[in-house]
């Protein structure tokens, strides 16, 4: 992939830009194999572990969510990042964003200028509009979120909403997020939905997930579909009668793995994500799937003897599942674990704490082309 922003030194966020894509994927596979070396040896050596071919991604136009800092001036706003002096750098034509987002960003920049939304000046701590966040669904619909310092701009946004949707009809969900504090976060706790529609449907074949404004979703739609398919295939192979999906987000793994007679429980701390997951399960008519807002580790530690499932799927943030949950899994009678990780370093540490759960299958998925980040999904079975 070629990127003018990278070539000009304007943006270096994609650290592998310019490196042949096949080499990027190979390096990620090699790094994952090196980090999981001890787990492979504990499982009985390379012959005991199946390494499936890596799942690749389109090199460009893959990212379904853009988190753009708004800078510049009212007349000439920038949407992109901040430079070392905290000045706005415009990246409205960023090539890793999906086509729908690439079309939307220039429209949104013009809307910001026409509406008179004052970009937030980080250095001076003045202004109103901090970020614009855009997510595209597999169907090409958009969720647009304006992150504001205060409620003062809400009347203006409401007044101009019809005009925005006239030039950007794909924007089916538009919100204002309120972030009054000056701190290094992207969004605040309060969300004001400006449209009648509150969720963005994310359709993956027969499964539709509902994405709410403050819910996590995989950033690469193509690779996410492959990830759900791979995990589901392994789950169906071992065929547990019950399973937990911990760190379930909006329920992607749980909804894909649901089968008649299989009791599925999804656990996630975000109440907004759980609302979405429950809505998806209800609309799909899934009787044996339940979701609850709870801490994944606390949920496991409270489990009574005889109530643990046959399989646990974990999809934690970069920090991994940690000592408490991995120790609990090691001591439990759970027969199988599917571990989806965005950080093979913490994956390796967690596997070392679960020696009775042997590594059986591994697959690297290139969720983040042009960067050093990756997703690795593994199947563990009790020795």
The residues assigned a catalytic role are: 342
CA distance 361 to 379: 5
Q: Copy the structure tokens of residue 120.
A: 């937030």
* Cβ contacts of 91 within 8 Å, gap of 6 or more: 5, 10, 11, 68, 79, 80, 81
Considering only CA atoms, which of 125, 85, 83, 131 is closest in space to residue 108? 131
| Angle value at C-alpha 97, between 116 and 166, nearest 5 degrees | 45
In this structure, what DSSP letter does residue 156 have? H
Contact of 102 with 111, CB cutoff 8 Å:
no
Please, what's the b/e burial string for 133-167 (b: 16 or more CB within 10 A of its CB; e: otherwise)? bbbbbbeebbbbbbbbbeeebeeebeeeeeebbee
Beta bridge partners, 377, equal: 340, 363
Q: Copy the structure tokens of residue 46.
A: 């390379």
Contact of 123 with 94, CB cutoff 8 Å:
no
Considering only CA atoms, which of 63, 48, 336, 361 is closest in space to residue 230? 361
3 state DSSP class of 263: strand
Q: How many residues does the chain have?
A: 383
CA distance 250 to 253: 9
Place of tokens 């299989």: 262
- For residue 306, count other CB atoms closer than 10 A to its CB: 6
Q: At what angle do helices 344-352 and 21-35 cross, to 10 degrees?
A: 20
In this structure, what DSSP letter does residue 304 have? P
């Amino acid at each position: 992939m070629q990127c003018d922003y990278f070539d000009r030194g304007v943006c270096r966020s994609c650290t592998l830009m310019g490196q042949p894509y096949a080499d990027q994927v190979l390096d990620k596979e090699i790094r994952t194999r090196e980090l999981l070396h001890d787990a492979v040896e504990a499982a009985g050596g390379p012959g005991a572990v199946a390494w499936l071919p890596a799942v690749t991604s389109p090199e460009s136009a893959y990212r379904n969510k853009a988190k753009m800092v708004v800078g510049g001036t009212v007349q000439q706003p920038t949407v992109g990042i901040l430079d070392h002096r905290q000045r706005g750098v415009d990246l409205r034509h960023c090539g890793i964003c999906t086509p729908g987002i690439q079309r939307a960003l220039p429209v949104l920049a013009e809307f910001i200028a026409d509406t008179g939304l004052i970009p937030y000046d980080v250095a001076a701590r003045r202004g109103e509009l901090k970020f614009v966040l855009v997510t595209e669904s597999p169907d090409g619909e958009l969720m647009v979120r304006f992150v504001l310092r205060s409620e003062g701009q809400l009347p203006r946004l409401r007044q101009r909403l019809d005009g925005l949707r006239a030039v950007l009809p794909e924007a089916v969900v538009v919100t204002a997020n309120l972030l009054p504090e000056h701190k290094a976060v992207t969004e605040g706790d309060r969300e004001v939905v400006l449209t009648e529609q509150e969720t963005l449907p994310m359709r993956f074949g027969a499964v539709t997930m509902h994405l709410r404004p403050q819910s996590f979703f995989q950033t690469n739609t193509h690779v996410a579909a492959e990830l759900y398919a791979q995990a589901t295939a392994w789950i169906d192979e071992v065929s547990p009668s019950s399973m937990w999906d911990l760190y379930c987000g909006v329920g992607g793994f749980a909804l894909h793995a649901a089968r008649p007679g299989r009791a599925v429980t999804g656990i996630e701390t975000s109440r907004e994500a759980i609302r979405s997951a429950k809505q998806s399960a209800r609309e799909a008519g899934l009787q044996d799937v339940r979701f609850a807002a709870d801490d994944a580790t606390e949920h496991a530690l409270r489990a009574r003897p005889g109530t643990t499932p046959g399989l646990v799927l974990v999809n934690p943030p970069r920090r991994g599942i940690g000592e408490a949950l991995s120790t609990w899994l090691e001591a439990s009678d759970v027969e199988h674990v599917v571990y989806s990780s965005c950080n093979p370093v913490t994956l390796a540490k967690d596997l070392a704490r679960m020696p009775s759960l042997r590594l059986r299958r591994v697959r690297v998925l290139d969720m983040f082309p042009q960067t050093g980040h990756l997703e690795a999904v593994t199947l563990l079975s009790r020795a």
